[in-house]
Amino acid sequence: MILVGQGDVGKTCLAKRLIYDTFQKEDSTEGIDILPWNINAPTKEQENIKLNVWDFGGQEIYHSTHQFFLTKRSLYLLVWNARKSKDYEHIDYWLHTIEAFGGDSPVILVLSKCNEREDDLNMKDLRDKFPNIADLYKVDSEDGTGIDHLKQIIRDKSWALPHMQTAWVSSWLKVRERLEEEIDKRKWIGYKEFKGICNSEELDKKQTDIVDDYLHDLGVIIHFRDHVVLKNMVILKPEWATDAVYKILDTDNIREREGMLLHSDLDEIWDTEIYPADTHSMLLKLMERFGLSYELPDKASHLVAELLPSTPPEFEWDDNDNLHFFYRYSFLPPGILPRFIVGANQDLEPIENGKRLQWREGAVLKIGDTRALVKLKRLEKLIEISIHGSQKREVMAVVRNHFDHINSSIKKVQISQRIPCNCSQGCPERYDYQQLLAAERADRETVDCRISWKKIPLSKLLDGYERKKDRMKEKDEKGVYIDNRPIFNVEGGKATAISRSESTSIADVDIKIDVKVELPAMQDDFSELKEALVAANPQYAGELEKIEDSLDEIDVHDDKSKFNKPMSKMRRLLNKIADENSDIHKAVKGVKKGVEIAQKVGKTYNKFAQWLALPQVPDLFLG
């Protein structure tokens, strides 16, 4: 169960009243507090419900980090204070944030300090916009008003969560109990030891991985089995890790140094009794995994992107002959630009004193002689990309790959891609990029500018972003679509594009920019598909776990030959899914968003298939 809301609205007081039936005025939560809570299940026949209550600090500096713990397997309490009328402005923000990262998870709205003010929300309008809202409850943590009623609805909604009634065999429970017994002695164990505990309870590899995933999703442990370094650390007390991250965000010296975290300062920031020196490198990797920081070339410091200055440094930009692209969001989730900066850090333009051209809401990249200016326009909910130089098209693709990967992790937010009209210099008309591509596929040749009412050739608009032969998908005699989009090669600081057909015949082609985006995307999408299918029918766990393990064994820097085996396994599975008479085809169609996720996995596989000269799979569930 996750408590969210602005700072100082009473979340911690509410949590203490619910769990301990006590009231004590608390200071604002720094980061996240995690409290265990055992409550009776709704029916007498059932055992207790064991909840992990995550109390999220409401200060804005924490918001971009909170998103990594907002999961789809949770019940949310959105708390606001009846004293603060201005707090209503934040309700929409938090509901959007929950929806973007928590999916369709149920949300209970809780009005705290209800005895001091009686204000009502327009619940009909809110429910129309956010159908996952369960209801509104008014409580006062100080005297206990409304607490019993709220407890009952928490019981009911918790019990209805998809995973709550999953049958846990005794050996799984024993693993959890043994891990919890270790918490007082140590905060983490190695993955090898974790597997040893599971093996001693007679769990095979498939069951071990399922238990691992469940415990991670339930907030009992933190474990990133898909990460080449972090997979070796199973964090038994999530608070231990989250506190370490938030201590970094709360350190004034790092902000004063414009986000630079010196490794030599870690002994002062992190209490060495709680965070021994041998855990520092792993915790820094955890921050990198969250997209919060990246290691600087000196190997003695990290840059924490969230603590960059909000004002950009002075720099020159040539506005002539720029290529522009825009992402417009219906809701702007926190942390998009810091995640982009961390992901694109190797291409950030260097400036004096070893610094790079970056600030909290923008950055400049430099690849060869081409520069990319990326700016967040918060009030417009817009990200603006401007490219100047001889390799505009190629560098634009690099920037868009980063944002497309970030955007793929954001749910239920409308994100439109727009490009400017070029009928005249400075024309304010903007076109939806995907609609232009659809018009071209429908054999339209022009589009109207609604400012000048000139007819603009589609090729004139689109060729600056992708060549026509790379935009279009060719269909062979079997009805299989071939992805002809270019692979981007950055070598010696110069960005170039080569066709996929060329790439299969050129030895040692460096395509890390493409692979470092597509491989994590495939791993994430397949993990989501596997989880949904196994939850629906555990019989699929064995086959899917083998494929997931095979995917996890490859790295973006691996030799091309290492991709063949996992991609061949993926192809065989996708062909089964494409067979309308197969059980797994029916299972995918029966799982919520199963078709959408399977399509994403199939499309990504076809990109690798072109590169590896493997057979492609048909577009799934189409026609």
Quick: pLDDT tens for 406-458.
Answer: 998 888 889 999 999 999 888 999 999 999 998 988 889 999 999 999 999 99
Residues 345 and 465 in one domain: yes
* Spatial CB neighbours of 246, under 8 Å, sequence gap ≥ 6: 30, 31, 32, 57, 62, 65
Residues 192 and 152 in one domain: no
Residues 223 and 256 in one domain: no
Q: Give 267-303 pLDDT, tens digit per residue.
A: 999 999 999 999 999 999 999 988 899 999 889 999 9
pLDDT at 470: 72
Q: Is residue 562 part of a domain?
A: yes
Q: Is residue 217 part of a domain?
A: yes
Q: Is residue 488 part of a domain?
A: no
- Burial-class residue 598 by CB neighbours within 10 Å (0-12, 13-18, 19+): buried
> Above 70 in pLDDT, residue 533?
yes
Q: Is residue 347 part of a domain?
A: yes
> What is the SS3 assignment for 35?
strand
CA torsion 472-477-478-482 (nearest 10°) is -20
Q: Which run of H or of E encompasses 298?
A: none
Residues 48 and 107 in one domain: yes
Residues 20 and 82 in one domain: yes
Residues 372 and 444 in one domain: yes
Residues 439 and 397 in one domain: yes
Q: Which run of H or of E encompasses 165?
A: none
Residue pair 505/525 in contact (Cβ under 8 Å)? The answer is: no
Three-point CA angle 535, 537, 542, nearest 5°:
95
Helix axes 541-552, 512-536, angle to 10 degrees: 160
Residues 273 and 126 in one domain: no
Nearest to 534 by CA among 102, 70, 209, 164: 209
Give the CATH number, domain containing residue 219: 1.10.10.10
- Dihedral of CA 258/262/268/274: which sign? positive
Residues 203 and 299 in one domain: no
pLDDT range class, residue 623, cuts 50, 70, 90? very low
Give the CATH number, domain containing residue 458: 3.30.310.200
Q: Taking residues 120-131, report their average pLDDT.
A: 83
Range of the domain at 41: 2-160
pTM above 0.75, yes or no: no
Total count of domains within the chain: 5
Residues 346 and 330 in one domain: yes
Q: Give 542-564 pLDDT, tens digit per residue.
A: 889 889 888 888 877 777 778 88
* Spatial CB neighbours of 572, under 8 Å, sequence gap ≥ 6: none
Q: Give 157-179 pLDDT, tens digit per residue.
A: 988 887 776 667 889 999 999 99
* Spatial CB neighbours of 503, under 8 Å, sequence gap ≥ 6: 487, 509, 511, 610, 611
Q: Is residue 294 part of a domain?
A: yes
Residue pair 70/95 in contact (Cβ under 8 Å)? The answer is: no
- Burial-class residue 491 by CB neighbours within 10 Å (0-12, 13-18, 19+): exposed
> Above 60 in pLDDT, residue 479?
no
The C-alpha atoms of residue 588 and residue 528 are separated, in whole angstroms, by 12
Residues 439 and 379 in one domain: yes
Helix axes 191-200, 170-182, angle to 10 degrees: 140
Tell me which of 219, 235, 251 is where a domain ends.
Answer: 235
> Above 80 in pLDDT, residue 497?
no
Give the other-Cβ count within 10 Å of 380's Cβ. 12
Residues 328 and 221 in one domain: no
Residue pair 372/325 in contact (Cβ under 8 Å)? The answer is: no
Helix axes 392-407, 336-343, angle to 10 degrees: 130
